[in-house]
Structure formats: C-alpha cells, structure tokens
Chains A and B, each alone.
Chain A
Amino acid sequence: MSALSILVVTSTPDHRNSTAELDALITELRRRPGVTVHVWFLRPGESPPWQDSRVVDDLRTLPVPAAIDKLGLSPVAGAIRGRILRRWWTEVAPDVVVLDDALGERLLPDDRQAVVVVHRMNPDSPSDAALEARATTAADIQLIPIEGSPSWGPEGRVVLHTMSRTDMEPARPFSSASSRSIVRRRLGVPADGLLVVGWGEHAWFDGPDLFVRAIWSLRERLGVDAHGLWVGGDSGDEVAAVIEDEIARCHLTGHVTHRPRSTIDSRLCGDVVFLPYRDEGDVELLRQAAITGCQIVTFPVWDTAVPGLRPVDHLDLEAAGDAIVAAAAEDRSTRAVAAGAALDVAPFVDDLLDAVARARGAR
C-alpha cells in the first residue's frame, strides 16, 4: 500500500464507548503498512490528550497571540493562529480526514478536493457538542453504528457500518468448551446435553414463560435432552414468579434452572442462546454470545446484523425448537472464528481503506 496520512479530528479525550472504539480503530489503522495516523482533539477533556496528539484549542492560549490579543490587535493574533494551524496541517499533509461525530469541519482548508473526508457518527454525542458546529457538507464516507443511523448530518456518499467492540474481549474465553463446562458445574446445571440459555428481567417483553415452554418442546416434542438456564430476575419478582410457575406447570423441575444474576459467564456457558423477546434488547450481549460462536435463536425484533442471530417467526416455539436443534448441530469453533472476524475491527479497517482507495481513485 502506498503511504497514507490520516488525520482524526475528535471532540475531547472523553470516556464514551465510541472513543474507546476510535482508539481501537486507530491502533488497527497504524498496524497497516504505510498508514500514519494523527489525532487532533478540538478541546481538552476529562482525560489527558493521547500521546502525540494535538489540542486545537491550545492555539487560543499560545503566549504570543494571546499577548497580541491583549493589545487589542485580535485580527493579527487570529492570523498568527491561522498560520500555526496551517503549519500543523502541512506537517500532517492528510490524505484522509476523519471528523468524529462530524465535528471540526472548520479545520478543513477551503480547497478540500484533495482530501477524503470521513464522518464517523456515534450513538452518544460528546458532552461539549454544542460548542462546535456539525459538518454541513456531505462526507465522502460516512461511518454509522450498526444499531442505526443518527438522524443528523448530511448523508455520506459511501456508508459503512461500524461495530461496537465494548465488552467483547471478556467473552472470548467462553469459546472454549472447557471454560463453559467449569461454569456449568459451578451453576449446578448439567455439563452434558444441550444447554439453552436465555436472559432478561421483564416478565412479558423478555418472554421467560416462552423460554420454559421452548425447553418443554425440545424435550417432549423433539426428544432432545435439553436443559434450560434463565438468568436475570431477582427471586420474588415477577420474572422469577413467572418462570417458577411455568416450570411447575410444564413439569420441568430439574430441567430448567433460574439464576437471578445475569453475569457474562452464566450467559455464555450454554450451547445455544434462546431469547424469546417481544422487543429489542441489549445488542452488546448478543455480540458477546456471537463471538463465542454461540448461535442466538430469537424472534425478528432486532434491528442489527450480529453474526449468529437466527430469527424465527414471532412467538413460533415449534420453529424455535427446530432452530435450536439445528444451531446446536453446527460446528461452534468455526462459527467463533467467523464471528470473531465479523465482529473484530480488522475487517472493518479493510473495508474502510478500500472505500478510501475508491474515493481517492475517483478524484
């Protein structure tokens, strides 16, 4: 690959998930041969600026222009600041400028034809977003979270969907059958046989009764030695009452276990996840399961493209039972590799660099 200089302009070094994901994206970009990445923060923030980054707002307090300001010669001070900014720009000589949250368009030169502009949209705005105007010109490439697109900002010519990586790393150990087996023993659920896991804390929308009846269907209709583990819902609350009532009615005592605390190890110790949700839940938890190669049988309520998601018709427990059996029969390790590749940032960086190359080629 020929040399590529990328300038990332972002609001502040804050604690948003998207900022951590930006860090991961930059790290992966810097791994690529010929790619250099520079980071400019618009303002100082709650954390120190990253190593080798610049803070644009520092121009305001530079001693020389600040002293000239005090003499009432603000246009002169402004010209000095502009000259310094242009020097910074020349030092970087960016081929690509990534405007995080589509902020910082004012830093681009009037003649921006040579630069590929990328807008990276995030689910949460920075705390000081009101201090900076949003970009008004469409980007060459727009990065949008997989969960959906923000309603603001001009649409980019090319749209790529970004994946959140938060909390995925802790899930990786559960790709291993031995790890899952240890957790199962600790939770008191069978180490052998098909373990179906579900989670949720709402007695209607999360469908704990549907979960129990799916286990009944697996055992009684399909003849599968299945055990169910539902995590979430404190004892004494409605979820616990519904589950315990349904277990008793279905004569599944000993075949479905309820644990009130939903932890990553309890959620990921199963062979298949079944989430009989009536409404969309936490996508991050789906990703955690997906990266272990676990398939997630669910109803079509998710507006996302997580690998391993296996939707069946809404409320159709017969179809869910069939899907659970089919999912359990597939090779999990292969799926884990595929899911990891899909969820990791590396393939995304490939896509981004391809899009950049096409945009530069079109110049």
Chain B
Amino acid sequence: MLASTELVWLLAATAKGDQDAFELLYLATRGILYGIAMRILRQPALAEEVMQEAYVEIWRQAGGFSPRMGDPMTWMVAILRSAAFDFRLKRPETAHDQGGPSEVTFPAAEQLADPAMPEARRHVLTRLSHVDEEARRAVLLAYANGWSREQLASHLGQPVDVVVEALRDGIMGIRECLES
C-alpha cells in the first residue's frame, strides 16, 4: 500500500490525464476497493462491474479531490461505496446474500496504540471502542457489508427498531470526533 501522500500525487497527475499515474493508482488501491465491493455485492461479476464504474468515476473526478477534503483512500472508498449502493438499489434482484464473510475483527487495544496507524483512523476506532458492544457490532456490520436496517435486523435476530437504536448509539458515540 502506498502512503497517503503518494496517492495524492497520483490523483493530481490523474487529474491532468496521466494514464500511467492512474494505472499506478489502480494497482495500489484495487485490492481495497474490490474487497469492499465484494463484501457489499457478494458476487464477483457484480463487484467487478461496480469497481470498474468507480474507477472511471475516480478518473473523471480526480481533479475535484483536494487533500483538504481528507485522505485520498477514504475519498476513493466513498466513490466506490456510493456506486455499490446505487447499483444495488437499481438492481434489487442482486441483493441476495451469496454467503462469504460478514463479521469484521475489531482491533485490539495494542493495535489501536500502534504509531503506524493514521491518526484519523485511530480517532474513529477509539471512539467506537468506547460504545456498547451491540452498537459497535451494528455499525461495523452495516459498514462492512453495506446492509440495510432490515438485513441487519435479520442477521442479528432483533426487531428493526432495536437495530436502528443501536446504530444511532454507535453513530452518536463516533460523532464527537467530528466536532473537533
């Protein structure tokens, strides 16, 4: 994985139409974007379609990225996730779960203390580590799998309003880091 600064360089060159830079950007980030697309769409053919769309969008919008807006990787991830959600709503028949992993492992305290971890990530994860186990699980499952409230409820075996409440607790727990 390239450092954030290098991704900024590659995005800047991409904005000027440099295809070699864009290829490097693709090679450095495709695993992350495809991994997320696979979690949300569960089928390789669909995940590939969405990932391809997302990269075309990244190519198109590269000039709109600014380091002021945050980390280049989270910027690209947001484009991918947005494409994945829109795709799933347009093609609801693709939303059936095809199996595969759904849980994510939350980092242990010593991993959170690792100086190599980007500050923004440590911040969010630390806040999440302080919310209730149930709220944290709801947020992580929702994020990692892109599940709707209903899918979350069915996975957790709980009523939808309980799940919505847990999500809100998790969100409000993270929120304080947005205030700073």
Query: Is this pair of chains taken from one and the same complex?
Result: no
